[in-house]
A and B are shown apart, each in its own frame.
Chain A
Amino acid sequence: EDAAVQKDEL
């Protein structure tokens, strides 16, 4: 399954 994008940016 595709992983969600890491979201540590604004």
Chain B
Amino acid sequence: MTHLASICLLLLKIHTMKSCAGVSLKTQELYALVFVTRYLDLFSNFVSMYNTIMKIIFLSSTFGIIWYMRGHKLVRQSYDKEQDTFRHYFLVIPCMVLALVIHSKFTLLEVLWTFSIYLEAVAILPQLVLLQRTRNIDNLTGNYIFCLGAYRALYLLNWIYRYFMEKNYHAQWITWMAGMIQTAIYADFFYYYFKSWKKNERLKLPA
């Protein structure tokens, strides 16, 4: 739900302000790759209606955001292309190699799924780099990144709950480790987010 909220916040910003200033297209494209490689089981592995609908929402909204940033006349002009310089392959290639080495089962679907877990953990990095370079971070962008970080932190709590409360729940070291790293990457951002919130000041990251 927090993940869904983050997407709503981002779409709200882009749609109402007709601006994607401070939003990293690189992160959005990495997320698109994360969802495509993770949800390859969309039609073969039915978990629940909720699960299927959320998968479709995550996939379509991410491609919608990318379309807005690349294709929409006004939104495209507000994109900080010169600042958003992170290279995709710096993250994609190491994650691919890691997925080929560390996975639970050597099948195409399983390796791609593992790749998506690793890539998700670091997909925020281009956004954090852009954020540090952006002088005026608007509230919606700040809250968007907060929700994006919060959903994995909440997963950590959920994993602990499931581990102790569910009978048939097995240890998932790959997901847990990646989730911990993903949350840790946001630690610095969370710190400044709460600091600015407490002081009622505009969010600003130190250079």
Contacts and interface: CB of A to CB of B under 8 A. Distances in A.
A10 B58 contact: yes
Interface of A: 1-10
Given A10-B3, A10-B54, A5 B47 contact: no
Nearest to B107: A4
Contacts of B197: none
Contact of B170 (A1, A6, A9, A10): A6
A7 B171 CA distance: 12
Nearest to B175: A5
A4 B104 contact: yes
Nearest to B110: A4
A8 B48 CA distance: 8
Interface string B151-185: 00001000000000000001010110000000000
Contacts of B174: 5
Contacts of A3: 104-105
B122 to A, nearest CB: 18
**How many B residues are at the interface, by size bracket?**
20 to 34
Contacts, number: 32
A5 B113 contact: yes
Given A7-B45, A8-B47, A2 B54 contact: no
A9 B3 CA distance: 13
B138 interface: no
Given A8-B51, A10-B3, A2 B58 contact: no
A10 to B, nearest CB: 5
Nearest to B48: A8
Contact of A7 (B3, B41, B58, B155): B41
Contacts of A5: 104, 110, 113-114, 172, 174-175
A7 B113 contact: yes
Interface in B73-115: 104-105, 107, 110, 113-114
Contact of A9 (B41, B105, B107, B155): B155
A10 B55 CA distance: 7
